[in-house]
Structure 1
């Protein structure tokens, strides 16, 4: 299912801000890869110091990270005016709203989660608990313990029967004629054989495909 998502980013005016805005855009992309339904309202970056010639640096990418919380640290990679690669570290703060799942009724231990057991609610991103469930990750979940009504549902409350789980390393197969090309990916959701799944490569590009086996998908 294709959804239309809106991202609103308010950039804070800082000196030497061109590269900072590129970092914010890259970070927003990573966060929306992890949380497709998030609405971002503001991103703030802080650094203890920046090089005097920072406005001459060429931003390349942000290093791989989980980016699953409203604040944390990131490493950004640049080309310097001397054509050398250099890493700079920033602390980031993200404001926004995210749809999470709250139990609509009590869920018993050993019970399989069904759409009647929860509803979607909007929370400030900084109040979303770690590993909060996304509606796309609700298939084949079994409650580990009793869960009270009006509880924010989290991944660690359930065990999954899925062949592939969110954040699992997987191999994407890209078929070009008679040649198969293998790509290392990270799953962005849980899935079983035959399910369509989203995954990202090391550069953060999101791909879709069909699960064909344990930690394997055919890229489409």
Structure 2
């Protein structure tokens, strides 16, 4: 991320708690930094919306750097996922009100797609850091499930007043446990002679779904031959 963008984000964070991710906050950030308005608009064509998304992606990148420097080999896989989600939320704690304002912004119908892509980006960053090697429909299901876990945990965290957010981490552990139960049910279905036959048709269709190949796009993935 360029220095210009970081300067605008940092300046905006001083105003977002009061004005939200709004045009008012964006203009105030421009004024505070002294960056020419044309350059600021070139960096963030949609103003505050793009600024909020850049803020979110910056914390995703910070999470990646922190997790990349840690040795997670000794943790169970479920604990690695929980640790990654917790790391991402802890990084956001210093700008909690900005996160709250971002949730409000992306709850608006006009910006809901942007918010969904931002959540997906966070889930994708976590799975990529953890070394996910899935190539099929599991690539999507993992990210969709983790997006739900992350977003629900953030919402809980925003209202959590417990010491060191211990109630949030307990909530996160419960959500991870729910996911693990779902995975166990899937495994039992696949092992069952009767149920596996019933799922043969859907599984054949799903087996043709592939993860995206190439740069990220709004609707990633493609339909291809089984391999």
TM-score range, shorter-chain basis? under 0.3
TM-score scaled by structure 2?
0.25
Between Structure 1 and Structure 2, the one with more helix by share is: 2
Considering fraction of residues, name the structure with more strand: 1
Higher RCO (CA < 8 A, seq sep 6+):
2
TM-score if structure 1 supplies the norm length?
0.25
